[in-house]
């Protein structure tokens, strides 16, 4: 999934059918309820853990490879030093990025958190629907679709691109009002490069069938019992996290606070090229890293190494990610 013009244009080929097809409540191209019969909970694509009485499933969508230049502040020696401190392999030219999504089961709700990337982006992505099936959840059983933000690698599984039909026929799309307005602002769209507009087109196409059932929220909204949204502006203006609280346990799904695990824990000042406001993204990242460190709060992230569950510790003036131990209660 290396970022280049050819890849942008190949992804843009997804757009016409999804943009012009009717927005109807019909399931197409996805596993049926019968196909999604009970299967092993833990698999290479799925990891489950409990937060109090709430079940949280990490779903692996895939991974991609990007040039290190996606971090505008990248410098080879600093990058190599950061990767060494993070105990990550280092390539002076590229880095790998995981793409995760999550599914939450409460006593009476099934909430999807992001939906991965479109399979047409490359052979190493697009596994979200298969991971959903692996935990025995049929698409029609999902009753809420929460999007941390509307980037193509977070909403790519929501719509069948060949038909324009919803993949989740019974789930309203819950997203911040600021995010929806940002993505659908034609003046902002016009300011983007032609290549990035191709991704923007796909993002719009993937959420279009949900327009009539969308719920636009403000930060701090509780979308289900124990699930509260958290403002994380910078990557996009309406970027949200989701905090899960149950009993004495908590988890923050922080969306795209971190893109490069080899670099950004040591260098939180390094923002990503696709951050809408790079200075604000760095400010938010530092604040969240400080908060979860001080509170010893478990986190999960869409671009952390799968399954993404872990803790943040201070390490020689910077930060260090420590993967959470296996949850035997699962």
Does residue 260 form part of some domain? yes
Beta bridge partners of 105: 55, 110
On whether residue 2 sits in a domain, the answer given is no
* pLDDT tens string 70-85: 999 999 999 999 999 9
- How high is the mean pLDDT of the chain? 89
| Domain enclosing residue 72, as ranges | 33-323
Separation in Å, CA 34 to CA 30, 115, 133, 177, 190: 11, 21, 10, 36, 45
Q: For residues 248-274, give the mean pLDDT.
A: 97
- Which of helix, strand or coil describes residue 153? helix
Is the residue at 263 inside a domain?
yes
In a domain, 22, yes or no: no
Which span out of 24-38, 39-53, 122-136 was modeled with the highest average pLDDT? 122-136
Angle between helices 194-207 and 5-12 (to 10 degrees): 30
Number of structural domains found in the chain: 1
Its pTM surpasses 0.85 = yes
Please check whether residue 9 lies inside any domain of the structure: no
With a pLDDT cut of 70, the percent of the chain lying above it is 87
Query: H/E element holding 313?
Result: strand 310-315
Residue 330 lies in a domain: no
Residue 47, domain CATH:
3.60.15.10
Q: Is residue 237 part of a domain?
A: yes
Residue 307 lies in a domain: yes
Gap between the Cα atoms of 254 and 300, Å rounded: 6
DSSP string, 188-249: HHHTS-HHHHHHHHHHHHHHGGGGGG-EEE-TT-EEETTEEEEE-TTSSTT-EEEEEEETTE
Write out pLDDT tens, residues 220-248.
Answer: 999 999 999 999 999 999 999 999 999 99
């Amino acid at each position: 999934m290396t970022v280049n013009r050819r890849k942008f244009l190949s992804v843009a080929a997804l757009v016409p059918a999804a943009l012009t097809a009717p927005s109807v409540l019909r399931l197409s191209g996805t596993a049926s309820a019968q196909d999604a019969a009970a299967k092993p909970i833990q698999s290479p694509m799925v990891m489950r853990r409990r937060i109090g009485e709430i079940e949280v499933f990490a779903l692996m969508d895939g991974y991609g490879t990007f040039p290190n230049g996606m971090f505008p502040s990248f410098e080879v020696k600093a990058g190599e030093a950061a990767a060494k401190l993070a105990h990550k392999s280092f390539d002076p030219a590229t880095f790998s990025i995981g793409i995760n999504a999550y599914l939450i089961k409460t006593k009476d709700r099934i909430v999807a958190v992001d939906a991965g990337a479109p399979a047409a982006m490359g052979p190493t992505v697009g596994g979200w629907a298969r991971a959903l099936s692996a935990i025995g959840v049929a698409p029609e059983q999902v009753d809420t679709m929460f999007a941390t933000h509307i980037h193509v690698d977070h909403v790519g599984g929501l719509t069948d691109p060949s038909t324009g039909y919803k993949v989740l026929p019974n789930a309203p799309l819950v997203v911040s009002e600021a995010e929806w307005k940002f993505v659908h602002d034609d003046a902002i769209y016009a300011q983007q490069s032609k290549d990035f507009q191709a991704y923007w087109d796909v993002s719009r196409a993937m959420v279009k069938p949900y327009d009539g059932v969308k719920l636009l929220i403000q930060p701090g909204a509780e979308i289900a019992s124990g699930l509260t949204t958290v403002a994380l502006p910078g990557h996009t203006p309406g970027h949200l996290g989701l905090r899960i609280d149950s009993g004495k346990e908590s988890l923050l799904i922080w969306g795209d606070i971190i893109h490069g695990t080899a670099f950004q824990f040591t260098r939180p000042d390094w923002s990503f090229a696709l951050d809408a406001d790079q200075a604000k993204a760095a400010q938010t990242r530092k604040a969240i890293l400080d908060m979860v460190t001080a509170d010893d709060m478990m986190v999960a992230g869409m671009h952390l190494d799968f399954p993404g569950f872990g803790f943040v510790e201070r390490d020689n003036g910077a930060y260090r990610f420590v993967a959470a131990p296996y949850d035997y209660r699962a």
